Amino acid sequence: MSDNHAEHEEHIGIPGYLVIFLILVFGTIFTYFSSFWDLDSIFPGANTLLALAIAFTKMMFVILYFMHVRWSSKTVWLAAVAAFFWLAIMFAFTMQDYFTRISGVFSV
Amino acid sequence: MQEVSAISGNSVPADEPKLNYINNGHTLKSWLLTKDHKRIALMYLVSVSAFFLMGGIYAGFIRLELLTPASDLLETATYNKVFTQHGILMVFFFLIPAIPAILGNFLLPLMIGAKDLALPRINLLSLYIYWIGGIITLWALMQGGVDTGWTFYTPYSTTFSNSYVMAVGIGVFINGFSSILTGLNFIVSIHTMRAPGMTWFRLPLFVWAHYATSLVMILGTPVVAITILLVAIERFARIGIFDPAIGGDPILFQHLFWFYSHPAVYIMILPGMGVISEVIAGFSRKRIFGYEFVAFSSIAIAVFGFLVWGHHMFVSGQSIFAGLVFSFLSMVVAVPSAIKTFNWTATMYKGSISYDTPMLYAIGFLGLFLIGGLTGLFLGSVGLTVHLTDTYFVVAHFHYVMVGGQVIAYLAGIHYWWPKMTGRMYSEFWGKISAMLIFVGFNLTFFPQFILGYMGMPRRYASYPEELQVLNIFSTAGASVLGFGLVMPVVYLIHSLFYGKKAADNPWMHPGLEWRTSSPPPTENFKEMPVVTWEAYDFGEESGLDLEDARKREAVTI
Amino acid sequence: MTAHGDTHEHHEPGLQHQFEDMHQQEESVSIGMWAFLAQEIMFFGGLFTAYLVFRWRFPMAFAAGSNHLDEFMGGLNTLVLIVSSLTMALTVYYAQKGNRTLQVVMIVLTMLFGATFLGVKAIEYTDKYNHGLVPVTGWNKKVKEDVSAPHVTEQDCTQVGHGDGDDHYVNPKGEFQWKDCSLVKLAQDHNYLTEDEKIGYFTNGEIDANKFRDKVRLFYYIYFVMTGLHALHMIIGLGVMLWLLWKAWIGTFGPKYYAPVEISGLYWHFVDIVWIFLFPLLYLLGRHFLH
């Protein structure tokens, strides 16, 4: 990953890894307990939204630090971003069909 | 490291055999365990051709059955299996691997100046996966085949069909990983293996096209893999998300299937466009018109190709809003293809064109792809499609793109690089005859199908009303000519292996890096690491490739 | 392949013939792995799309099905995987440092946590098997009818509470069992059924227990396919780790050559990430309905 062999010395080291680990553990526990709150009474889907936001944050920490993307070449960034971009295409363009099937509006 | 001595065009190699990738090792093991991309490409050539032959035989049966209005040659159930197997073999085992796995594998490292692809063992693995997937599929075909159509539409494929859907599905699933690995290898190689001086904008357009193809392969193929896996699980477990009886959703299958399978048609045409860019620039002896536009239009096709899949589903029950969005984007995706076509034509304008066999194929490609592409616009518009869906109009449209596009481009490429691949020249006379026969035969086969489709003849039926017989007879007659035209190259190309004239290192006097090594290339591709100091398609005088030299060459060869 | 072997004056260990130097090789391998991971993301992405579609159409069935998963086991497994990710990251760290002993220790720990994950998963699957929650007919525990037990009367499915009915559990064919449709009633009362649900759970305006069961069955089908595929990736990961353990044991890796550790790590972290999403999406839906 690193562009030269000296560079990996600059990675976060053991204390850094432990901090990331604690963040991930905290995120997991937080997701767990937040699921019992009735956030859906605020607006429908709020529970899921919060859970996904936490999951996404956890993923970013894993990708950036455990998988060393923060120190990686642009091509690696490109691969990671492209994958999620295409995933978004698949979600968005499939769901635009289902979201617009409300009877009498766009469907027959 | 020193600059490659430019051109050794007119020097016909001496008689003593040089060590090249073909005669470097003669044992079976040296082929089956090779890591050499050129040997893997040759093994792909043989395997893919075998599948092409099988798919072609099925096509022959289809055309023979349709010679008469009644269903007489084949039972209707058999007919269903025949067209399904024609589709599956041609799409998954011929069209998708044809140009990337054969020509791409062989030429990509040569064109970027590398010793091999970045991951040679992965490359060999992809060949083995192709074989395993192919063998499973063939086994299933021998057991009794499959009758769902190549699209495996649910719930017929999951609940009702009594044929070998699962076995064929698993064969296709496994085969998918072969193209994923090929694409992965190409992406990595293009990023990291370029020779010194080979910048992104000095890459031949063939390489750009393969980069775009690889994007689609990596990002699309896994989706169809998981979809077919779900179909297989559903057949096995008798429950699943595509079964409408318990609230499952067959439309979801179509979404997931076409998410890959529409971009997959770009897997089937983009590499062909790459070949055509090389051939047209080469035989017009001119730098391609608008290099950057052609390069980026490949990437644009790969990206926009993922946004239009719903135009296969206009009559499926997806929402009208979705239909409109997909229809609009289908019009948008036609733009980059049109840019390419304009630029190829503009490249030929005022070029010094020589009508060698590859160029004849390439010119044929231009016309056929134009028709195929424009009829695609008919099918991409929501209103017209209701009339044309599931008729022979659709069949004719995608054959114009797939056969008229990819197969013709594939043949152009095989002829163009045959001297490099084998070190032999084929017979130019027979090459030209076959190129013209294929063009005539192809049009005779498929043009009547546009009219048939417009008159309302549905696809996938063994019988049809009597008043449609005349056009069907034309079509079958054309198929015979086309079949004959396709057999001819097999004969004279194999003949050339043994009796053909020895090819010069650069028989066409073209500037690409692949022509600056010997024919056939040595195992390590280049004796010295090449350093690229020239732009792509540089036919300028300083390159030593000017027209006079080419004329001299013609005076020698003909 | 022999012809250019001599072009390398300084032949480094682990350098393959097609590359000029280690840097080129490392970059190629790393980009290759990331392209492979992009492929994996799309592979799981197909399943996530399916999840999304059915979650959108039948949210109450998904909430009901999710409430019967063991959120504690799921949470525990998430933590186990996160610890294994930490040890994996440390494996790479020690490989870069060239510390063989700690490398081996960390690989063994990673494998232990990976195996723990699979063990917990097996316990969960067994539990589903015993309670008739495997969506495939015949794959559940077959419980013969017990004549001495009090006869189960047809209950109103909206009255069945969480965990009820286990005492008189009868399932001779090993079919998927589901009796609880209290959530449908709840959603009907509060008027947040989706268009699909209004058709999908009702017959002639009455809540249809069988139709609701089918939708919950779809949730369990998706649950099993997703977690099963994830578990398969874990098993493959364990195989890779076994190979890595052997390589580390014989002292292959050091500051100059650790790319295999690095890319195995990428794979392991990716599998972890998939689970980070699976956990809330499968286990934590509609928990608040229970309290």
CA distances from C101 to A47, B471, C184 (A): 45, 78, 57
Question: What is the per-residue pLDDT across C11-37, written as a single tens digit (0 to 9) for each?
Answer: 566 788 888 888 899 899 999 999 999
Phi and psi at C257, nearest 5°, equal -145, 95
Q: Do C58 and B247 make contact, defined as CB atoms within 8 angstroms?
A: yes
User: According to the model, what pLDDT value does residue B290 have?
Assistant: 93
**Helices B408-422 and B469-499: angle between axes, nearest 10 degrees:** 10
d(CA C161, CA C238): 40
Domain of residue A24 covers 1-72
d(CA B47, CA B49): 5
For residue B316, give both structure tokens: 């499926």
User: According to the model, what pLDDT value does residue C86 have?
Assistant: 96
Residues in chain B with CB shorter than 8 Å from the CB of C222 are 241
Chain position carrying tokens 């963040």: A23
Tell whether B403 is covered by a domain: yes
User: According to the model, what pLDDT value does residue B278 have?
Assistant: 96
Residues A65, A38 share a domain: yes
Number of domains in chain A: 2
User: According to the model, what pLDDT value does residue B123 have?
Assistant: 96
Tell whether B524 is covered by a domain: yes
* C225 interfaces chain B, CB cutoff of 8 Å: yes
d(CA C255, CA C97): 6
Closest residue, chain C, to A25 (C-alpha): C79
Predicted complex ipTM: 0.91
**Residue C173: pLDDT band with limits 50, 70, 90:** confident
Neighbours of B460 (CB within 10 A): 13
Neighbours of chain B (3+ CB pairs under 8 A): A, C
The CATH number linked to B457 is: 1.20.210.10
Residues A65, A78 share a domain: no
Tell the burial category of C1 from Cβ atoms under 10 Å away from its Cβ (0-12, 13-18, 19+): middle
- Give the distance from residue C214's alpha carbon to the nearest chain B alpha carbon, in angstroms: 5
Residues A66, A79 share a domain: no
Structural domains in chain C? Answer: 19-290 (1.20.120.80)
Residues A92, A62 share a domain: no
pLDDT at C6 over 70: no
For residue B26, give both structure tokens: 């003669």
Residues A50, A34 share a domain: yes
Q: What is the mean pLDDT of residues C273-282?
A: 96
For residue B229, give both structure tokens: 């896996």
Residues in chain C with CB shorter than 8 Å from the CB of B221 are 39
User: Between C18, C42, C215, which is nearest B115 by CB?
Assistant: C18
Chain position carrying tokens 């919060």: A50
d(CA B444, CA B366): 17
* B318 interfaces chain A, CB cutoff of 8 Å: yes
User: According to the model, what pLDDT value does residue A13 have?
Assistant: 86
Q: Assess contact for B248 and B242: CB atoms under 8 A.
A: yes
Residues A51, A96 share a domain: no
Domain of residue B338 covers 42-557
Residues A92, A46 share a domain: no
User: According to the model, what pLDDT value does residue C153 have?
Assistant: 52
Predicted confidence pLDDT, tens digits, chain B (558 residues) = 333 444 444 444 445 567 889 888 889 999 999 999 999 999 999 999 999 999 999 999 999 999 999 998 999 999 999 999 999 999 999 999 999 999 999 999 999 999 999 999 999 999 999 999 999 999 999 998 999 999 999 899 998 888 899 999 999 999 999 999 999 999 999 999 999 999 999 999 999 999 999 999 999 999 999 999 999 999 998 888 998 888 899 999 999 999 999 999 999 999 999 999 999 999 998 899 999 999 999 999 999 999 999 999 998 888 888 999 999 999 999 999 999 999 999 999 999 899 999 999 999 999 999 999 999 999 999 888 889 999 999 999 999 999 999 999 999 999 999 999 999 999 999 999 999 999 999 999 999 999 999 999 999 999 999 999 999 999 999 999 999 999 999 999 999 999 999 998 889 888 889 998 998 999 999 988 899 988 888 887 555 555 555 555 555 443
pLDDT at C235 over 60: yes
Residues A83, A52 share a domain: no
Tell whether B5 is covered by a domain: no
Neighbours of A92 (CB within 10 A): 11
**Helices B392-401 and B357-380: angle between axes, nearest 10 degrees:** 140
Among C31, C60, C136, C176, which would you mutate to test the B interface (most chain B Cβ atoms within 10 Å of its Cβ)?
Answer: C31
* B57 interfaces chain A, CB cutoff of 8 Å: no
Q: Do A68 and C34 make contact, defined as CB atoms within 8 angstroms?
A: no
* B215 interfaces chain A, CB cutoff of 8 Å: yes
Tell whether B332 is covered by a domain: yes
Number of domains in chain B: 1
Residues in chain A with CB shorter than 8 Å from the CB of C71 are 32, 35
Tell whether B289 is covered by a domain: yes
**Residue C100: pLDDT band with limits 50, 70, 90:** very high
* C199 interfaces chain B, CB cutoff of 8 Å: no
Residues within 8 A of B (CB atoms), C 78-137 only: 135-137
Q: Do B187 and C31 make contact, defined as CB atoms within 8 angstroms?
A: yes
* C48 interfaces chain A, CB cutoff of 8 Å: yes
d(CA B442, CA B400): 8
Residues A92, A42 share a domain: no
Q: Cis omega (within 30 of 0) on the bond before B17?
A: no
Q: Cis omega (within 30 of 0) on the bond before B155?
A: yes
Tell whether B11 is covered by a domain: no
Residues within 8 A of C (CB atoms), B 527-556 only: 529
Question: What is the per-residue pLDDT across C40-92, written as a single tens digit (0 to 9) for each?
Answer: 999 999 999 999 999 999 999 999 999 989 999 999 999 999 999 999 999 99
- Give the distance from residue C97's alpha carbon to the nearest chain A alpha carbon, in angstroms: 9
Q: Assess contact for B66 and B476: CB atoms under 8 A.
A: yes
User: According to the model, what pLDDT value does residue B17 have?
Assistant: 63
Question: What is the per-residue pLDDT across A39-63, written as a single tens digit (0 to 9) for each?
Answer: 888 887 888 899 999 999 999 999 9
Chain position carrying tokens 């999840």: C51
Tell whether B307 is covered by a domain: yes
* B325 interfaces chain A, CB cutoff of 8 Å: yes
- Give the distance from residue A8's alpha carbon to the nearest chain C alpha carbon, in angstroms: 8
